[in-house]
Amino acid sequence: MKSRISVFITLFAANYVFLNASCNLQGNDGWKLSKVLGFSWANCGKSGDPAVMKTLNLSPDPIPIPGQITADASGTTSVELTSPLSVNVTLERKVAGVWVKIPCIDELGSCHYPNVCDLLNQLIPPGQDCPEPLDTYGLPCHCPFKAGDYSLPSSEIYIPEVELPGWLTNGNYKVQGILGSSENELGCLQVSFSLHSSHEEHNETERKEIIS
């Protein structure tokens, strides 16, 4: 997900990618995300980029998965964000003290998404109400996004169970997302976090040992 107006574009695009990957990989490895900790973020765009994230707060830390989180965010854009809006994501994992770029695998990893507006339309069909808490606060969930300030007040959001491929499990990660239009950069956001996961088969073995 980048420094643009929306948290909203970023979070929705990220949500689509991870949940879509989870569905595609269901039952393959049995790795389930259990918590996310050490979440931090920073704008990484050029001075003068029109879209900037101003605030983004998530709690608690660690974030339990599945579980409830509290989130608030705000952003601004000086230009209207219209289709097509590309998102270029770079995902890196820290291995032996070195950041290693993870390639794009099954639409997850360091991938290029040519039009995040299409992803939003797949996630929320046009004509359908925006999901909560966006609907409550009158926030858009489809392109175009008008120029101006956007704010999501402190809200409770449920994070469902997420299944991960074996190559995306325990470790430290950072993600950089660049939003663009017509080959022009609109904004950039970098997010860092640690993932902790558990293996379904391992947990099942532990449960059997406890029962016996």
Q: Encoding tokens for residue 11?
A: 């979070």
Residue 92 has pLDDT above 90, yes or no: yes
The stretches of the chain forming alpha helices (DSSP H) are 7-25, 116-123, 200-211
58 or 163, higher pLDDT: 58
Domains and CATH numbers, the chain: 7-211 (2.70.220.10)
- The pLDDT value recorded for residue 84 is 92
| Structure confidence at residue 29 as a pLDDT band (50, 70, 90) | low
The closest of 188, 191, 192, 193 to 2, measured between CA atoms, is 188
Question: Is this prediction's pTM over 0.85?
Answer: no
> What mean pLDDT is predicted for residues 146-167?
86
Summarize pLDDT for 43-52 with one digit per residue, the tens. Answer: 998 888 999 9
- 65-79 residue pLDDT tens: 888 989 898 989 999
According to the model, what pLDDT value does residue 90 have? Answer: 93
pLDDT of residue 202: 46
**What angle (nearest 5°) sits at the alpha carbon of residue 154, between those of residues 35 and 37?**
20
Above 50 in pLDDT, residue 158?
yes
Q: Using CB atoms within 10 A of its CB, is residue 160 exposed (0-12), middle (13-18) or buried (19+)?
A: exposed
Question: Which of 148-157, 161-170, 178-187 shows the lowest per-residue confidence on average (mean pLDDT)?
Answer: 161-170
